[in-house]
Amino acid sequence: MVDASGALMVVAGIVWKDGLFLGVERPEGKAHAGWWEFPGGKVEPGESLEAALIRELEEELSFTSTRLVFWREKRFVYPQGPVQLNFFHVTHFTGDVVPREGQRFAWFTPGQADVSIFLPANGDIVPALRWPLP
């Protein structure tokens, strides 16, 4: 779905477990392959941001978010066009992280994650993460 300005609407989950946040590596064959990101994806027409994130986490990583809280939004322009990123903290979920698209995943310590491996749109997000949440 695109917003009124033509930006692609995207949701991203900052998934927390034991004070660490989840990152996933974009798999081969996808745009930006090899870069790390927060799990999420595109919002479908008529779908709320929360519903989109819950769906994307289940589709990509096999777990169900049971508590998510909107954190911030950000507009970023890639060569392919603008995206409107909507970030949520996911503090509770059921099930295990099981990648369904061949992607690698890792748990990162806030303040110690290597920002340079994350997508450019996340360059200011990664260093802003703190645990416990305010």
| CA 38 remoteness from chain centre | 3
Query: Mind giving me the DSSP string for the chain?
Result: -B-TTSPEEEEEEEEEETTEEEEEEPPTTSTTTT-EE-SEEEPPTT--HHHHHHHHHHHHHS-EEEEEEEEEEEEEEETTEEEEEEEEEEEEEES----SSS--EEEE-TTTS-GGGB-GGGTTTGGG--SS--
User: What is this structure's pTM?
Assistant: 0.94
Report whether pLDDT(98) > 90. yes
pLDDT tens-digit readout, 43-87: 999 999 999 999 999 999 999 999 999 999 999 999 999 999 999
What residue type is 66 in one-letter code? T
pLDDT one-digit tens code per residue, 113-123: 999 999 999 99
Q: How sure is the predictor about 96, in pLDDT bands with cuts at 50, 70 and 90? A: very high
